Structure 1
Amino acid sequence: MFKGLSAFPLTPFKEEHVDEHAFLALLGRLVEANVDSIGVLGSTGSYMYLSREERRRVIELSVREAGTIPIMASISELRLRDVLALAEDAQQAGASAVLLAPVSYQPLGEEEAYSLYEEVSRHASVPICVYDNPRTTRFTFSDELHGRIAALPHVQSIKIPGVAADGIEAKEHIDRLRSVVPAKFALGISGDDCAATGLTAGCDVWYSVLGGLFPRICLELTRHAQARRADEALRVSAQLAPVWSLFKRYGSVRTAAAIAIRQGWMSAPGLPLPLAPVPASEIGRIVDCLDALS
């Protein structure tokens, strides 16, 4: 399942509860576009702000709505005990894979992070994707640690942060990771603004925030990259530069929420408090781009 476009939708909130109607509408857009997979409860899906019961409900809704499209669900939590419980919930709810980041209040050491993945791999019955997100978790994986974790049972992908804009440098980065992971192991790019570069440099999958809002243009970019049409993939990405600029300035989840509100896909503020979407005035700067996408 770790190939092509993996679209990561928001988890809309209304009056501090998950807005299931809005969530199903977002999922419906992804199903209609026929994305390659759907990633729920990632950072874009506000997983750390949801209770165990809310997370399970989101996965159940996703699996039911997605049909044959695979669902990957985050199981990240502070304590190993809770990670294992969330993993069991996700598997029972029908998730095809789980996404795990080394989140912690006290910064983790490498051996602590390895032990987390080692223990989860013992209990998993579905593939595991390693979530490498140093900006949020404040944990930085070494290449050696990636290699050790990639060798564990069920670990089949790494969701890496953005790569360099320079194609040669990006390819060197991807090749270096390839040298420490098993053959046929899936590397996925998660920095939307550098997705075209990451895919053409050798990544197998784009774990995409924008794909959760506008799946068709993200599929177009992905298919160009898969067909080795690098110039076309970069051309599509350049059309999205106004969105990438807001992602860089405010973060992707706040920007994605503001876009979804502007499009009428969810009610304001749409995020779990105290998080707030990007001000409407900032979204006003990219209305031409959004109208073209629509």
Structure 2
Amino acid sequence: MRTSSQRRRLFRPRATAVAVLAGAGLAFAHTTTGATLAGPILAAAAGGHGLPDPAAPVPSPVTTTPRPAPNSTLPFNAKLTSDDIPVPGGGVRNGACSGSLIAPQWVITAGHCFHDLADARIGGRPPYTMTVTIGKVKDTDPGGHTARVVDVKQSPVNDLALAELDLAINDIPPVTLNTQRPVVGQQLQFAGWGSHSATVLGPSDHLKRGRFTVSGIGQSTLEAQPVGKRTVENGPCPEDSGGPFFTSDDDHTGTLVAIVNTGPPCPQPGAETIARVDVVANWIREQTG
């Protein structure tokens, strides 16, 4: 993400049409259907004796299909999407961000992924539905988890936020928080679900990955340069906001060093500005503990 004119923001205007919501609350209504019970209670109400009918067929045992396991490649990565973000003047639009699982019920992402109509970062329950998918590297992967954000904590020092989920995810190892000051020359990996264009927005259907080198260290941010030629597949683009910059020895677990904030229009060369995790590691533990 960048300044108000540059950031790969969740709230950058889309090319898609804006639609006015009518009865949006119905979209997530749940209807509970009562099952008809057969047995002594119904039999007694009908004037019977409340005893099973020996001639009645024996029901087949219920079998449960095991849930597919999350993808083992960087399972902590998170894709955040919304299709009901309010816009000034009425109506809604789509948007997306990226992130990482840092605790069973918490995801870390960019602070500006949660904002009001004036584009100011906000905490608390978001004013739009944010769906989080964790444990996939492609939209078509059978495993993984889907949750919704119910609360947001904004970092006091940089463009970083913690999003609380409506369910705990216990079969994916969260990223470890880096607590050491990064050094110039340190090698980092990047992962995100952002677009493949600086102008045509829409999240990717697969996890993008790349490699970067720390080139500068600020008080609460880092600068990172891509290793090799930058493309829309190996570097942050719009909607990669919050994507992790991390280290990993096994492509399964990871240590989170920073998250995507802003950078040059993809796929142009130049340094990414990323929010440091080590300077807020204690604060993160306090919020998620």
TM-score normalized with structure 1 length: 0.27
Structure with larger Rg: 2
**TM-score after normalising by structure 2:** 0.27
Identify, as 1 or 2, the structure richer in helix: 1
Structure having the higher strand fraction is: 2
